[in-house]
């Protein structure tokens, strides 16, 4: 399908290899990135990185420590979300299929972190195979999370704006899941096969991602199309659906207040309806928070990729490009804890199954309990 886009990446390194040995030829104390790698590894590294000095050991160890903390937090948090949502009957709803998928993406995002941690501790490129595995897992999890966030936004919009006909069914949820991964997989596996773009080291050469630095039309075309399909479109959908939710909630509340005023009553909503509406709004707030975190975390990386493909590459120093990568990993840590704070049924199941966490969540009142309370009060 893409025969014209096959590229010869062996031309990436154009300088003689001896010139990469040291930034200080006199003293020989300060090395350039890639100084200790052989030709079989250098052909996989964009030449842009090879002109920068190797970072200090302290910088590598600091990143290794930070990623270790991120990994523990993310794997525990997302592992709990996956476990609780799968084993709890009350949480096995069509809508929560998207929540589980997002947690799986976040789990995968940090499950690959030991490759980075190992490279940081060793202070060197971890080899072509591990680089490919790291980048492929990162692309699958990152793109999967972006489209899943759009699906969650659509589901919340349908549930709140169209409470009767908009409820998600298992059939529709599984169909959307198929569409999500059919949408994502081509952009993950084309670079893996090097049919169009490739996975390469970046920054300190301890992490790997899609090549956005090779100065070819094919690279720029891939980055431009991927930026549109995998970032602009999902973000636009998220913004549209949540703006519609906010507009609907405000209009609905305004209409209820006006009708109650005409009828000379305080409220038209029963206690049970108010509780149900409150739960829906809380879940929607959690989803909005998660989608906001996703946009905040991935926008810097998208900007870096666009600068690398179309802008001034001198702005992209190894240290600068490591910062967006940290933002990307941080969102995988925050997501499960946003649900822990804002999802009442999830907190209830956590309090039942892991009481040592000290979560005291009371079950929602049933219709009979609500009626009894109302009668007693009256």
**Separation between Cα atoms, residue 246 and residue 250, nearest integer Å:** 6
Q: Say whether 321 sits in a helix, a strand or coil.
A: helix
Question: For 243-252, how does the pLDDT look when each residue is reduced to its tens digit (9 = 90+)?
Answer: 888 777 777 6
Q: Tell me the average confidence (pLDDT) per consecutive run of 10 residues in the chain, 378 residues long.
A: 44 44 50 89 92 93 94 93 89 90 93 94 91 94 91 87 77 94 92 93 93 93 93 90 80 70 62 53 70 83 92 92 87 80 79 77 53 34
Question: For 219-234, how does the pLDDT look when each residue is reduced to its tens digit (9 = 90+)?
Answer: 999 999 999 988 999 9
**Separation between Cα atoms, residue 28 and residue 30, nearest integer Å:** 6
| Structure tokens belonging to residue 128 | 């072509």
Let me know if 79 is exposed, middle or buried by CB neighbors in 10 A (0-12, 13-18, 19+): middle
Q: For 32, which DSSP code?
A: B
> What pTM, to 2 d.p., does this model score?
0.81
């Amino acid at each position: 399908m893409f025969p014209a886009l096959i590229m010869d990446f062996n031309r990436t390194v154009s300088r003689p290899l001896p010139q990469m040995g040291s930034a200080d030829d006199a003293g020989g104390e300060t090395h350039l990135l890639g100084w200790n790698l052989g030709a079989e590894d250098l052909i996989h590294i964009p030449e842009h990185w090879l002109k920068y000095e190797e970072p200090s050991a302290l910088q590598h160890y600091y990143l290794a420590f930070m990623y270790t903390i991120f990994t523990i937090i993310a794997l525990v948090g997302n592992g709990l979300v996956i476990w609780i949502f799968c084993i709890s009957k009350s949480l096995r709803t069509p809508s929560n299929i998207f929540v589980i998928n997002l947690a799986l993406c976040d789990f995968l995002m940090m499950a690959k972190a030991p490759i980075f941690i190992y490279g940081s501790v060793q202070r060197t490129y971890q080899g072509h195979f591990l680089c490919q595995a790291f980048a492929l897992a990162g692309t699958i999890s990152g793109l999967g999370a972006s489209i899943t966030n759009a699906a969650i936004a659509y589901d919340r919009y349908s549930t709140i704006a169209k409470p009767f006909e908009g409820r998600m069914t298992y059939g529709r949820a599984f169909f959307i899941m198929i569409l999500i991964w059919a949408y994502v997989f081509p952009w993950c596996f084309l670079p893996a096969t090097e049919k169009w773009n490739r996975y390469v080291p970046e920054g300190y050469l301890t992490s790997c991602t899609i090549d956005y630095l090779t100065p070819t039309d094919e690279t720029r075309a891939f980055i431009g199309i991927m930026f549109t399909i995998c970032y602009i479109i999902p973000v636009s959908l998220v913004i549209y659906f949540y703006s519609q939710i906010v507009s609907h909630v405000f209009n609905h509340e305004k209409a209820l207040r006006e009708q109650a005023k005409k009828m000379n009553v305080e409220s038209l909503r029963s206690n049970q309806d108010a509780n149900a509406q409150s739960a829906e709004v809380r879940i929607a707030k959690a989803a909005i928070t998660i989608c906001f975190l996703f946009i905040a975390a991935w926008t810097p990386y998208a900007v870096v990729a666009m600068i690398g493909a179309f802008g001034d590459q001198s702005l992209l120093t190894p240290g600068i490009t490591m910062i967006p990568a940290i933002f990307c990993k941080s969102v995988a840590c925050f997501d499960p804890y946003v649900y822990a704070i804002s999802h009442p049924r999830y907190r209830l199941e956590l309090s039942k199954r892991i009481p040592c966490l000290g979560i005291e969540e009371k079950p929602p009142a049933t219709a009979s309990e609500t009626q009894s309370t109302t009668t007693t009060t009256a």
